Chain A
């Protein structure tokens, strides 16, 4: 059974989808990702879909689901590298993916996540020193 890897990068989770998604795979990804977010207490999820060339309404819904589930667990979702054809398809399907953040590539997505996560959570370890 194929599986999409979920990598932990500091306070973020990185998911790179390198194969065309089929329904079963997408559902598994959704379940795995949510498990992973709660396990690692991640603050952000970055999904790279630059290699995905075909989407349907189901896939659009899955991405939306992941975003709203992550929001409940206090993590932002950023979808990066969407291909023009995919963007057009989703719009024509009437799925503007409200609530999903987007960026052009992984680099810009990471930048966006870093700017979104309040600096306080990064300075937690440092703050102890000031108290002494």
Chain B
């Protein structure tokens, strides 16, 4: 959490994407820590998106009774990035002037 917050200050980033696709299991402590990290990011003035939540993890989180409704969650890193671009009003498009 501290590393993320320090990096947000250093780079002046508006959005942080937290990809947890490599996390095999989540318990209540980990989930609580994720919520704390997202809240702390918000306090700093940035937005935090959690991506790569696997179905098993979604299931456990709901079974543990943890409320993630006020946290932006996306299924994949790609959709999180797409959402981040939308938030920053950026778009990726083909450049007509280059020949490849």
Q: Give which listed residue, A103, A104, A108, contacts B9 with CB less than 8 A.
A: A104
Quick one: CB contact mask for A80-110 with B, threshold 8 Å, 1 for yes? Answer: 1111111110111000110000111100110
Given contacts A84-B2, A88-B1, A92-B36, contact A104 B43 (CB under 8 A): no
Contact A88 B12 (CB under 8 A): no
Select from chain A the residue with minimum beta-carbon distance to B5: A84
A-B contact count (CB 8 A): 55
Is B40's CB within 8 Å of the partner chain A?
Answer: yes
Q: How far is the CA of A105 from the CA of B13 in the complex (A)?
A: 11
Q: List 23 A-B contacts (CB under 8 A).
A: A79-B45, A80-B45, A82-B44, A84-B5, A86-B43, A87-B40, A87-B44, A90-B40, A96-B42, A97-B43, A102-B42, A102-B43, A102-B44, A103-B45, A104-B8, A104-B9, A104-B12, A104-B45, A104-B46, A105-B12, A105-B45, A108-B14, A109-B45
